[in-house]
């Protein structure tokens, strides 16, 4: 299965210099819980709903003054839309992220792959080329 078959399309981006209030409004209008962040049209980060809450609530940053750039995660972890789903799984595991921005050949955001999307698929216990030692049984 390819990432393009499972990803969520119609992903909206936000500019890094916009304020957190604007980001909150966009996130509330979306069910994805994340916005890819751009700077002059180039992908530079990802802003998640939890990062937004942390920045506004815990750290007390003013959402009308604080920019998306100050709250976003960077560097951004991306995956090509034509990559196999296993590549997306591996990237999530290696980078400890629950969302990947899916990009086209020109590196424009075309979708978002969430861990929930991947988890909804049949479990692959053994990846080609991996030894059996990584499998464990729990009782």
Question: What is the average pLDDT across 24-37?
Answer: 89
Q: Does residue 137 lie in a domain region?
A: no
Give the CATH number of the domain where residue 90 resides: 3.10.580.10
- Give the chain's mean pLDDT: 85
81 lies in some domain: yes
Q: What is the per-residue pLDDT across 95-139, written as a single tens digit (0 to 9) for each?
A: 999 999 999 999 999 999 998 888 887 765 445 555 544 444 443
Q: Would 126 be classed as within a structural domain?
A: no
Residue 46 belongs to some domain of the structure: yes
Range of the domain at 72: 3-120
Q: Which residues contact 77 (CB under 8 A, 6 or more apart)?
A: 46, 91, 92, 95, 97, 100, 101
């Amino acid at each position: 299965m390819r990432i393009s078959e499972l990803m969520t399309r119609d992903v909206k981006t936000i500019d890094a210099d916009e304020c957190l209030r604007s980001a909150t409004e966009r996130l509330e209008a979306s069910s994805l819980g994340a916005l890819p962040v751009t700077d002059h049209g180039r992908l530079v980060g990802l802003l998640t709903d939890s990062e937004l809450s942390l920045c506004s609530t815990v750290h007390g940053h003013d959402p009308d003054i604080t920019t998306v750039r100050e709250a976003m995660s960077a560097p951004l972890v991306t995956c090509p839309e034509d990559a196999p789903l296993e590549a997306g799984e591996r990237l999530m595991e290696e980078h400890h992220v629950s969302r990947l921005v899916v990009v086209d050949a020109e590196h424009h955001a075309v979708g978002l792959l969430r861990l929930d999307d991947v988890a909804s698929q049949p479990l692959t216990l053994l990846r080609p080329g991996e030894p059996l030692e990584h499998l464990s049984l729990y009782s």
